[in-house]
């Protein structure tokens, strides 16, 4: 009988799940038994294994100087404007949709702690959530959950705010639309959603011509953010409510703040 070989990326994910189970619980909470693990999206394993799935990817990319380099020296600025758009002290519940390299999550956790609130960080890769917890103080008010952003396991209106930091450009359009619909669903009316991602640079920005072929090869869905506004991917009933947009670095990056 032929032996069925498991995808190496899937093996890494399974191994990381064991580490995550021991580290995913917030202080003061009993370990939870997960009903089932969400399947890792095929597009993620196909196009982004080198950036997020392989253990060496974390060692290589999750360095502060590296994330600054990837964003052409703009990581700190974009991180700070996202945090400021959320608020200085954050009471209630805050959701971070997907893990992020760099120090966004620890600094967000500090603002949540300052406001006496709680932070939930979700991601579909156990290895990414284990990496998030490794960057947090043991007393940080943070719960990490293995979850697909396009099918969130939270009740309607469960959160006061959410941040989506450089995630939209990494997803195919159908997944992106579901992710945004789910984010809107779980943020209560009157809450806030903060999005940071790529955008179409101004015609005079040289990165518009230099960076386009790089994105086309390494980030196959990213150019969608050049062709469309963020609002094009939001739920139709909510896309136009209290929405503000700011551009950075000659238009290559954008911050969108939405009041529900």
Question: What is the residue-level pLDDT of the chain in tens, covering all 260 positions?
Answer: 434 444 444 444 455 544 444 444 444 343 343 446 688 899 999 999 999 999 999 999 999 999 999 999 999 999 999 999 999 999 999 999 999 999 999 999 999 999 999 999 999 999 999 999 999 999 999 999 999 999 999 999 999 999 999 999 999 999 999 999 999 999 999 999 999 999 999 999 999 999 999 999 999 999 999 999 999 999 987 755 689 999 999 999 999 999 99
* Domain count of the fold of the chain: 1
What is the predicted pLDDT for the residue at 99?
Answer: 98
Residue 3 is assigned to a structural domain of this protein: no
Residue 32 is assigned to a structural domain of this protein: no
Residue 30 is assigned to a structural domain of this protein: no
Inter-residue long-range contacts of 242-249, CB under 8 Å, 24+ positions, other chains counted? 246/81, 247/199, 248/74, 248/77, 248/78, 248/81, 249/72, 249/74, 249/201, 249/205, 249/207
CATH no. for residue 121?
3.40.50.150
Residue 31 is assigned to a structural domain of this protein: no
Residue 33 is assigned to a structural domain of this protein: no
Place of tokens 């949709």: 97
Domain that holds residue 136: 8-24+39-259
What is the predicted pLDDT for the residue at 240?
Answer: 55
What is the predicted pLDDT for the residue at 237?
Answer: 79
Residue 101 is assigned to a structural domain of this protein: yes
**CA pair distance 103, 82, nearest whole angstrom:** 12
- Dihedral sign computed on CA atoms, order 37, 38, 39, 44: negative
Could you tell me the CA-to-CA distances from 4 to 1, 7, 17, 56 in Å, in that order?
Answer: 9, 10, 21, 25
Residue 91 is assigned to a structural domain of this protein: yes
Residue 251 is assigned to a structural domain of this protein: yes
What is the predicted pLDDT for the residue at 63?
Answer: 97
């Amino acid at each position: 009988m032929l032996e069925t070989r498991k995808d190496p990326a899937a093996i890494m994910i399974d191994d990381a799940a064991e580490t995550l189970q021991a580290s995913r619980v917030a202080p003061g909470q009993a370990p939870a038994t997960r009903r089932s693990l969400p399947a890792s999206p095929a597009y993620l394993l196909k196009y982004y294994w080198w950036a997020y799935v392989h253990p060496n990817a974390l060692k290589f990319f999750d360095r502060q100087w590296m994330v600054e380099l990837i964003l052409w020296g703009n990581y700190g600025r974009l991180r700070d404007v996202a945090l400021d758009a959320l608020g200085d002290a954050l009471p209630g519940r805050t959701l971070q949709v997907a893990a992020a390299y760099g120090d966004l999550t620890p600094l967000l956790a500090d603002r949540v702690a300052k406001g006496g609130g709680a932070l939930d960080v979700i991601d579909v890769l156990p290895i990414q959530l284990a990496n998030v917890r490794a960057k947090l103080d043991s007393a940080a008010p943070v719960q990490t959950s293995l979850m697909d952003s396009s099918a969130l396991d939270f009740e309607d209106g469960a959160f006061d705010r959410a941040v989506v930091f450089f995630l939209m450009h990494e997803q195919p359009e159908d997944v992106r639309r579901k992710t945004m619909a789910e984010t809107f669903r779980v943020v209560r009316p009157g809450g806030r959603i903060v999005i940071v991602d790529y955008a179409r640079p101004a015609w005079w920005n040289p990165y518009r011509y230099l960076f386009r072929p790089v994105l086309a090869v390494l980030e196959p869905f990213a150019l969608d953010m050049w062709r469309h506004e963020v609002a094009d991917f939001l739920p139709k009933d909510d896309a136009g409510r209290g929405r503000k947009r700011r551009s950075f670095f000659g238009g290559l990056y954008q911050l969108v703040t939405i009041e529900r």
